[in-house]
Amino acid sequence: MGRGAVSAGFLAIAMLACLGGAATATEYVVGGSRGWTAPPNITAGYYDEWAAGKAFTGGDTLRFIWNGRHNVAVVNREEYDSCTKVSSVSQGGETFNYTLPADANGLYYFICTVDSHCENGQKLAITVVSPTPAESPNSSGSSSSAVGALPVLVLLSSSIISMLMN
Protein backbone atom coordinates (compact mmCIF):
# COMPACT_ATOMS: atom_id res chain seq x y z
CA MET A 1 0.00 0.00 0.00
CA GLY A 2 2.82 2.40 0.86
CA ARG A 3 4.44 1.67 -2.46
CA GLY A 4 1.25 2.46 -4.36
CA ALA A 5 0.97 5.83 -2.70
CA VAL A 6 4.56 6.66 -3.58
CA SER A 7 3.92 5.75 -7.23
CA ALA A 8 0.81 7.90 -7.28
CA GLY A 9 2.82 10.81 -5.96
CA PHE A 10 5.49 10.36 -8.61
CA LEU A 11 2.86 10.12 -11.32
CA ALA A 12 1.26 13.38 -10.21
CA ILE A 13 4.63 15.12 -10.18
CA ALA A 14 5.52 13.74 -13.61
CA MET A 15 2.20 14.91 -15.01
CA LEU A 16 2.70 18.41 -13.68
CA ALA A 17 6.28 18.51 -14.95
CA CYS A 18 4.88 17.81 -18.42
CA LEU A 19 2.39 20.66 -18.13
CA GLY A 20 5.02 23.10 -16.92
CA GLY A 21 7.72 22.02 -19.38
CA ALA A 22 8.05 22.67 -23.09
CA ALA A 23 5.20 21.47 -25.25
CA THR A 24 5.90 18.11 -26.83
CA ALA A 25 6.50 18.08 -30.57
CA THR A 26 3.83 16.32 -32.59
CA GLU A 27 4.31 14.30 -35.76
CA TYR A 28 1.63 14.69 -38.40
CA VAL A 29 1.20 12.39 -41.40
CA VAL A 30 0.02 14.92 -43.99
CA GLY A 31 -3.37 13.90 -45.37
CA GLY A 32 -3.83 11.14 -42.83
CA SER A 33 -4.38 7.73 -44.38
CA ARG A 34 -4.52 9.20 -47.91
CA GLY A 35 -1.04 10.61 -47.53
CA TRP A 36 0.40 13.17 -49.95
CA THR A 37 -1.45 12.60 -53.20
CA ALA A 38 -3.40 14.15 -56.05
CA PRO A 39 -6.84 13.54 -57.59
CA PRO A 40 -8.48 11.10 -58.14
CA ASN A 41 -7.27 9.97 -54.68
CA ILE A 42 -8.39 13.28 -53.18
CA THR A 43 -10.76 16.08 -54.06
CA ALA A 44 -9.71 19.72 -54.25
CA GLY A 45 -9.57 21.24 -50.78
CA TYR A 46 -8.71 17.92 -49.16
CA TYR A 47 -5.58 19.28 -47.45
CA ASP A 48 -7.44 22.34 -46.19
CA GLU A 49 -9.91 20.01 -44.54
CA TRP A 50 -7.11 17.86 -43.17
CA ALA A 51 -5.31 20.88 -41.63
CA ALA A 52 -8.47 22.47 -40.23
CA GLY A 53 -8.64 22.35 -36.46
CA LYS A 54 -5.08 21.07 -36.00
CA ALA A 55 -2.89 23.14 -33.69
CA PHE A 56 0.51 23.17 -35.40
CA THR A 57 3.36 24.48 -33.28
CA GLY A 58 7.08 25.05 -33.78
CA GLY A 59 9.06 21.81 -33.55
CA ASP A 60 6.23 19.72 -34.98
CA THR A 61 7.09 17.44 -37.89
CA LEU A 62 5.03 17.08 -41.06
CA ARG A 63 5.52 13.67 -42.64
CA PHE A 64 4.76 13.65 -46.35
CA ILE A 65 4.30 10.08 -47.54
CA TRP A 66 3.31 9.14 -51.09
CA ASN A 67 3.24 6.49 -53.78
CA GLY A 68 4.52 7.19 -57.28
CA ARG A 69 5.49 10.57 -58.73
CA HIS A 70 5.10 13.38 -56.24
CA ASN A 71 7.40 15.77 -54.47
CA VAL A 72 7.33 18.48 -51.83
CA ALA A 73 8.20 22.12 -52.38
CA VAL A 74 8.20 24.65 -49.56
CA VAL A 75 6.74 27.81 -51.04
CA ASN A 76 5.53 31.27 -50.17
CA ARG A 77 1.98 32.53 -50.44
CA GLU A 78 2.30 33.71 -54.04
CA GLU A 79 3.87 30.45 -55.18
CA TYR A 80 1.19 28.53 -53.32
CA ASP A 81 -1.57 30.52 -55.00
CA SER A 82 -0.15 30.19 -58.51
CA CYS A 83 1.38 26.71 -58.07
CA THR A 84 4.81 27.98 -59.13
CA LYS A 85 7.16 25.14 -60.01
CA VAL A 86 10.03 26.00 -57.67
CA SER A 87 12.66 23.38 -56.81
CA SER A 88 11.36 20.70 -54.52
CA VAL A 89 12.97 19.97 -51.19
CA SER A 90 12.29 16.22 -51.30
CA GLN A 91 15.24 14.22 -52.62
CA GLY A 92 13.62 11.29 -54.38
CA GLY A 93 12.11 8.47 -52.40
CA GLU A 94 8.48 8.54 -51.39
CA THR A 95 8.69 10.34 -48.11
CA PHE A 96 9.83 13.68 -46.80
CA ASN A 97 9.84 15.00 -43.25
CA TYR A 98 9.60 18.70 -42.61
CA THR A 99 10.19 19.88 -39.06
CA LEU A 100 8.81 23.32 -38.35
CA PRO A 101 11.41 25.69 -36.85
CA ALA A 102 11.13 25.97 -33.08
CA ASP A 103 10.10 29.62 -33.39
CA ALA A 104 7.76 29.00 -36.33
CA ASN A 105 4.83 31.36 -36.46
CA GLY A 106 2.29 32.18 -39.13
CA LEU A 107 1.47 30.47 -42.39
CA TYR A 108 3.54 27.74 -44.02
CA TYR A 109 2.90 26.51 -47.57
CA PHE A 110 3.74 23.25 -49.31
CA ILE A 111 2.93 22.08 -52.81
CA CYS A 112 3.68 19.23 -55.20
CA THR A 113 5.25 20.54 -58.41
CA VAL A 114 4.69 17.41 -60.53
CA ASP A 115 2.41 17.97 -63.56
CA SER A 116 -0.75 19.85 -62.49
CA HIS A 117 -1.06 18.14 -59.10
CA CYS A 118 -0.91 21.45 -57.26
CA GLU A 119 -3.60 23.02 -59.46
CA ASN A 120 -5.74 19.96 -58.76
CA GLY A 121 -5.43 20.32 -55.02
CA GLN A 122 -2.12 18.81 -53.89
CA LYS A 123 -1.23 21.87 -51.83
CA LEU A 124 -1.10 22.46 -48.13
CA ALA A 125 -1.30 25.66 -46.11
CA ILE A 126 -0.97 25.49 -42.34
CA THR A 127 -1.14 28.05 -39.59
CA VAL A 128 1.60 27.64 -37.02
CA VAL A 129 1.43 29.11 -33.55
CA SER A 130 4.75 29.14 -31.79
CA PRO A 131 4.78 27.45 -28.34
CA THR A 132 6.99 30.26 -27.05
CA PRO A 133 5.47 33.49 -28.34
CA ALA A 134 7.59 36.62 -28.63
CA GLU A 135 9.07 37.89 -25.36
CA SER A 136 5.95 39.54 -24.05
CA PRO A 137 5.68 40.09 -20.30
CA ASN A 138 2.72 37.73 -20.28
CA SER A 139 4.56 34.70 -21.61
CA SER A 140 7.27 34.74 -18.92
CA GLY A 141 4.60 35.33 -16.28
CA SER A 142 2.56 32.29 -17.27
CA SER A 143 5.56 29.96 -17.43
CA SER A 144 6.80 31.03 -14.00
CA SER A 145 3.36 30.40 -12.51
CA ALA A 146 3.45 26.83 -13.86
CA VAL A 147 6.89 26.31 -12.32
CA GLY A 148 5.64 27.85 -9.08
CA ALA A 149 2.91 25.23 -8.84
CA LEU A 150 5.44 22.40 -8.74
CA PRO A 151 6.61 22.78 -5.09
CA VAL A 152 2.94 23.02 -4.03
CA LEU A 153 2.20 19.70 -5.69
CA VAL A 154 5.32 18.06 -4.24
CA LEU A 155 4.19 19.19 -0.79
CA LEU A 156 0.68 17.96 -1.45
CA SER A 157 1.73 14.52 -2.64
CA SER A 158 4.22 14.03 0.18
CA SER A 159 1.53 14.83 2.73
CA ILE A 160 -0.79 12.33 1.02
CA ILE A 161 1.98 9.74 1.15
CA SER A 162 2.62 10.32 4.85
CA MET A 163 -1.12 10.21 5.54
CA LEU A 164 -1.41 6.86 3.80
CA MET A 165 1.65 5.47 5.55
CA ASN A 166 0.46 6.38 9.04
Rule CB under 5 A: choose which of 30, 42, 112, 161 binds Cu ion.
112
Q: How far apart are CA 84 and CA 86, in angstroms?
A: 6
Q: How far apart are CA 72 and CA 86, in angstroms?
A: 10
C-alpha closest to that of 38 among 117, 123, 124? 117
Sheet holding 73-75, edge to edge: 73-75, 106-111, 123-128
Give Cα separations from 141 to 72, 123, 150 (angstroms).
39, 38, 15
Least distance to Cu ion from the beta carbon of 105, Å? Answer: 28
Using DSSP's 3-state secondary structure scheme, residue 70 falls into coil
Of 83 and 128, which has the nearer Cβ to Cu ion? 83
Q: Looking at 17-25, 73-81, 111-119, 146-154, which segment touches Cu ion (CB under 5 A)?
A: 111-119
Q: Looking at 37-45, 54-62, 90-98, 123-131, which segment touches Cu ion (CB under 5 A)?
A: 37-45
Does 123 sit near Cu ion (CB under 5 A)? no
Least distance to Cu ion from the beta carbon of 75, Å? Answer: 14
- Asked if residue 54 lies in contact with residue 86, where contact means CB atoms within 8 angstroms, the answer is no
Q: How far apart are CA 138 and CA 159, in angstroms?
A: 32
Would you give the binding string for Cu ion spanning residues 64-83, x where CB under 5 A is met?
------x-------------
Of 68 and 141, which has the nearer Cβ to Cu ion? 68
Q: How far apart are CA 137 and CA 157, in angstroms?
A: 31
Of 15 and 44, which has the nearer Cβ to Cu ion? 44
Rule CB under 5 A: choose which of 114, 153, 154, 160 binds Cu ion.
114
Q: Looking at 2-10, 42-50, 107-115, 128-136, which segment touches Cu ion (CB under 5 A)?
A: 107-115
- Contact residues: Cu ion, CB under 5 A: 38, 70, 112, 114, 117, 122
